[in-house]
Amino acid sequence: MKIVYICRSIIPSRTANSINVMKMCSAFAVLGHEVTLLAPWTKKLEEKNINNIYEYYGVEENFILKKVFSPNIKYLKKRIYSLRCLSIVKEIKPDLVYGRDESLAFYLTQKNDFLTLFEKHEPLKEKEKFLNYFFHKFIQSSKTTKLVTISNALKTIYQNSYNINPNAILVAHSGTNKIPNNDIPKNVKLNSSRVQIGYVGSLLKGKGVEIIVELAKEMQNVDFHIIGGNQKDLDFWKTNGSYTNLIFHGFVSPKETYKYRNMCDILLAPYQSNKEGNRLSEFMSPIKLFEYMSSKKAIICSDFKVYREVINEECAVLVDYKNITQWKDAINNLINDKDKKNKLAQNGYEIFLENYTWEKRAQNIIDFALIK
């Protein structure tokens, strides 16, 4: 098939959405499809000093990345970008238009009789009236309109809010790639006599970094590694969490993060609730969990209903997100019970291989798109 993927992600950048987009395009191509990715031309916002975008994201150069002009004019940039995307789609004449973020673009391609599938990662926001208007038109423009969501919780929101037939919504949780499980970063010195615990991801509010800082304070016999964050966030947390057993590694390129996961014995996913400013905990499909599972490591994760869509007590330890005692007990139990730690890691790895590779996700989406 010819596939055109449309997004609004800044490429290259450090954002999780750009990683998702690049990985999915590569996965479609691995399955044998001819893929063109359309992304906005945003030079001022892009990550600097990237010689090869594909290498930066750790994907094969097996699809075409085409940057599309998107002027920085408040009321025109989305209209102009979407119309230019439509023009390119008409030139390519794809069998499938797929992607995320830009409601108008997908409404236009569907209206012009291209098979179109739209992926949603969160509910519509009331303030985005322009995009919401065209999402409604997209949903109503065809009796065969289909939608992809990243969790069952999000599917329920769209099904109930927009009266969409449940059979017209595919739940496709996030995914990740198989990785070499033995590679570790060469520039990091580890004390082999101490347990190494890691977190990979953003340092923004709601991600649970404060939990890790508190754990490092109270568990001086364990080393905690935090991988990720921009300089502003790093400066804040280093000021508020200056402990010898708490190591901030800063931002690591997407293709290298697996090495840092590999060097750890246990990986933490301390997501916080909506009350702490993270409404994504209600409906997200965290790529972090799939990456942790692919590293064949024991996972301790905040216990939210949406995460139980993909993990349970057979492959992770689930704890109250704000109960520091439960986090400490979970860590100590895994340290003292190596058989349990290894069993959780192996179970998680097997679940990942069976269900959550990018290629598996891409194939499920293709199959769903072709259902009449």
Do 62 and 203 have their domain in common?
no
Average pLDDT over residues 303-308: 92
Residue 181 falls inside a structural domain: no
pLDDT in tens, 100-124: 988 999 999 999 999 999 999 999 8
What residues contact 232, with CB distance under 8 A and at least 6 apart? none
C-alpha 35/C-alpha 58 separation (Å) is 17
pTM: 0.91
pLDDT in tens, 338-352: 999 999 999 999 999
Q: What is the CATH number of the domain that holds 12?
A: 3.40.50.2000
CB 97 within 8 A of CB 117: yes
Do 212 and 164 have their domain in common?
no
The pLDDT value given to residue 71: 82
The pLDDT value given to residue 316: 98
CA-based nearest residue to 94, from 71, 76, 70, 110: 110
Domain span including residue 289 = 195-355
Distances in whole angstroms, Cα of residue 103 to Cα of each of 82, 139, 164, 225: 9, 10, 16, 39
Residue 189 falls inside a structural domain: no
Residue 188 falls inside a structural domain: no
DSSP 301-367: EE--TTGGGT--TTT-EEE-TT-HHHHHHHHHHHHH-HHHHHHHHHHHHHHHHHH-BHHHHHHHHHH
Residue with tokens 């979407």: 82
CA-based nearest residue to 14, from 257, 224, 349, 258: 257
Residue 186 falls inside a structural domain: no
Do 342 and 366 have their domain in common?
no
The kind and range of the H/E element at 199 are strand 195-200
Q: φ, ψ for residue 196 (rounded to 5)? A: -110, 120
Average pLDDT over residues 27-40: 98
Q: φ, ψ for residue 248 (rounded to 5)? A: -95, 120
Hey, how many other C-beta atoms are within 10 angstroms of the C-beta on 122?
14
Residue 317 falls inside a structural domain: yes
Do 258 and 128 have their domain in common?
no
Distances in whole angstroms, Cα of residue 181 to Cα of each of 165, 177, 295: 42, 12, 6
Residue 248 falls inside a structural domain: yes
C-alpha 255/C-alpha 244 separation (Å) is 28
Coil, strand or helix at 83: helix
Residue 199 falls inside a structural domain: yes
CB 59 within 8 A of CB 30: no
Average pLDDT over residues 286-294: 93
Express the helix, strand and coil content of the chain in percent, nearest 5 each: 45, 20, 40
DSSP strand pairing (64-69 vs 116-120): unpaired
Model confidence band, residue 242 (pLDDT cutoffs 50, 70, 90): confident
Torsion sign over Cα 158, 164, 166, 168: negative
- In the predicted model, is pLDDT for residue 276 greater than 70? no
**Which residue would you say has higher pLDDT here, 178 or 141?**
178
Residue 8 falls inside a structural domain: yes
Count the domains in the chain.
2
CB 314 within 8 A of CB 301: no
Q: Is the peptide bond before 254 cis (omega within 30 degrees of 0)?
A: no
Coil, strand or helix at 269: strand
Do 170 and 205 have their domain in common?
no
The pLDDT value given to residue 142: 80
CB 172 within 8 A of CB 360: no
Do 363 and 315 have their domain in common?
no
Hey, how many other C-beta atoms are within 10 angstroms of the C-beta on 301?
25
Model confidence band, residue 284 (pLDDT cutoffs 50, 70, 90): confident
Do 129 and 13 have their domain in common?
yes
Do 312 and 361 have their domain in common?
no
CA-based nearest residue to 357, from 121, 16, 24: 24
Do 254 and 137 have their domain in common?
no
Do 363 and 330 have their domain in common?
no
CA 128 to chain centre: 22
Counting residues of the chain whose pLDDT is more than 90, the rounded percentage is 79
Do 350 and 366 have their domain in common?
no
Do 157 and 284 have their domain in common?
no
Number of helices and strands (H, E) in the chain?
13, 13
